[in-house]
Amino acid sequence: MMDGISMNKIKHHDLFVIIRPGLGTLHAVDTLDISGEDDLTFHLGNRFTIQSVEQDGGYLDWDVEERGKLYTKYRVQNWDPDSGGVMIKWVGVVRSFEGYKVSIISSELVELSGFCGWFPTLESQSQFESFTYDLVIDIPKDWTVVTPGEDKNEDERIRRYHYDRPIEDIFICASPKFELIQEDVCDIPLKLYLSDDFTHAKEELMDDFVSSVRLITEMFGGLEEENGGTAIVSPRGKEGAEWGFERDGLWVVGQSFCEYLIENDWKVGDLPKSLSLHETIHGWFGIGVDFEEPWLAEAITQYLEVVLTSMMYDDPDIVDSYFEQYHQRVLDHMEGEDRPIHEYTFLDDMYVPWYLKGSWAFWDLEFKVGREEIMLLLKNIYTDHLGRTLSYDDFLEIVAENFGSQEKDVVRHWFEEKGFRPKYRSLE
């Protein structure tokens, strides 16, 4: 895990949430069972406002210690670390619910982007703090809601879950109406939930996900049932660049990027683009094999996305087209900021360093050892470490065992040094 992230400080979140999608509002009460903290500070996303902080039925004062771009750091006054949990009440406004019109692909059941992110955490970057929670969602009677965890209540409008996941994994989707399409692919039950807006493209959408799952399975082996990924994808700007993340057993695709690809003949600019491929790869590399350093998972996945896109569209020239585009975007980024990849965090503009420059570690290595050898390396990593967490240092040693210490240094060079200096492959 990245430096500065504190694990397991919050033992339990007893979380009650009311979401009213039609009004775009969220109300929450979170009782934090915290141990070993004499000085209590916590971070809360700026989309939320604190109503009260309580302990043992009494109200505690708090001060704003730091205001960040995405979160505010609060300090709790006069709390007693020996008197049990602290209850934080907060409210927020969610201005955009993709859940209104959302297309969903899932290996189990899916769905509400819009409120996840920046619930109370002890560290500014610790959306990974482990915890369990009971989640209660109040939604309109005619809405469907889907979220990870086990439904423990017969009332369709109220869902209760007890789920041992990182804070970041509080994930919900909701919509008034869905059409469900199901297909088993490589022993994986895919479910496509379509809003009315996309029923005309249901064959295209399902074909894309089926092709992704089948191709990755052929390359690396089967996906364990409890793994899988979730993608919440939405465009950033006119170029249609996407944003997404993977979650347990789910593939979720928001309306915006889905609509963009359909309207543009499944291309971003002039380059073919799969809607599902990147996040589906994370079912194998990022969840199937977890990585302590998220930038390593993204670099591997971005490299594989380009290689597998060329296979999916049976066009080897796609690789060089992406390769050239990535090269220029990395150079443009470094004109404004040049730091080693491992120094970027989730709070930074990390897309180009983590994904594009990070994938160059593998483009460079591929030029020396060959693509087949890189793919064999990743297949062996998946086979040998499935269900485990792999650290960056462990990954370097695996590279050394397969290709030698010189190639290990090439990989280290890309992640730990500034600049853009290919060792083997360059455009000149």
Look at residues 38, 3, 194 and name the one whose alpha carbon lies nearest to residue 101.
Answer: 194
The residues, ordered by sequence, that sit 6+ positions from 235 with a Cβ below 8 Å of its Cβ are 241, 242, 256, 257, 260
Q: So where are the chain's domains?
A: 10-95+117-175, 304-416
Q: What's the rounded Cα separation, in Å, for the pair 298 and 279? A: 10
pLDDT at 112: 37
Q: How far apart are the first and last CA of the chain?
A: 36
Candidates 319, 317, 291; CA nearest to 307 is: 319
Measure the CA–CA gap between 248 and 349, rounded to whole angstroms: 25
Most confident of 154-158, 184-188, 227-231, 239-243: 184-188
Q: How far apart are CA 286 and CA 229, in angstroms?
A: 9
Q: Is 229 exposed, middle or buried (0-12, 13-18, 19+ CB in 10 A)?
A: buried
Distance CA 87, CA 68 (A): 23
Are 361 and 403 in contact by the 8 Å Cβ rule? The answer is: no
Q: Residue 86 forms beta bridges with which residues?
A: 32
**Residue 44: C-alpha distances to residues 81, 91, 172 (Å):** 20, 11, 19
Q: In which element (H, E) is residue 175 found?
A: strand 173-175
- Tell me which fold the domain 10-95+117-175 belongs to: Immunoglobulin-like (2.60.40)
Instruction: Identify the band that residue 181 occupies on the pLDDT scale cut at 50, 70 and 90.
Output: confident
Mean pLDDT computed over 175-184:
71
CA–CA separation, 224 and 226 (whole Å): 6
Cα distance between residue 306 and residue 319, in whole Å: 6
Look at strands 188-194 and 10-20 and give their pairing: unpaired
Residue 40 φ then ψ, to 5°: -95, 110
Instruction: Answer whether residue 122 shows pLDDT above 80.
Output: no
Position with higher pLDDT, 113 vs 1? 113
Q: What is the mean pLDDT of the chain?
A: 76
Note the pLDDT of residue 86.
Answer: 87
Q: Is the pLDDT of residue 362 over 50?
A: yes
Q: Which of 50, 297, 276, 15 is nearest to 163 (CA)?
A: 15
Residues 217 and 186 sit within 8 Å (Cβ to Cβ): yes
Q: Which residue would you say has higher pLDDT here, 269 or 367?
A: 367
346 contacts 167 by C-beta, under 8 angstroms = no
Distance CA 144, CA 157 (A): 8
Question: CA angle at residue 305 from 299 to 309, to 5 degrees?
Answer: 160
Whole-angstrom Cα distance, residue 281 to residue 289? 11
pLDDT score, position 242 = 46
Two tokens, residue 153: 């209540």
Q: Whose CA is closest to 357, among 407, 307, 422?
A: 422
Rg of the chain over CA atoms, in angstroms? 22
pLDDT tens digit sequence for 230-282: 343 443 334 444 444 445 555 556 566 777 888 899 998 889 999 888 888 88
Helical ranges in 89-188 per DSSP H: none
How far is the C-alpha of 361 from the C-alpha of 300, rounded, in Å? 9
DSSP letter at 133? Answer: B
pTM of the model as a whole: 0.76
| SS3 state of residue 398 | helix
Spell out a b/e string for 386-416, using b for 16 or more CB atoms within 10 Å of the CB, else e: beeebebeebbebbbebbeeebbebbbbbbe
> Which of 169-178, 266-275, 413-422 shows the lowest per-residue confidence on average (mean pLDDT)?
169-178
Task: Quick: pLDDT tens for 269-320.
Answer: 889 999 888 888 888 898 789 898 989 999 999 999 999 999 999 999 999 9
- Token pair of 365 as six digits: 């290595």
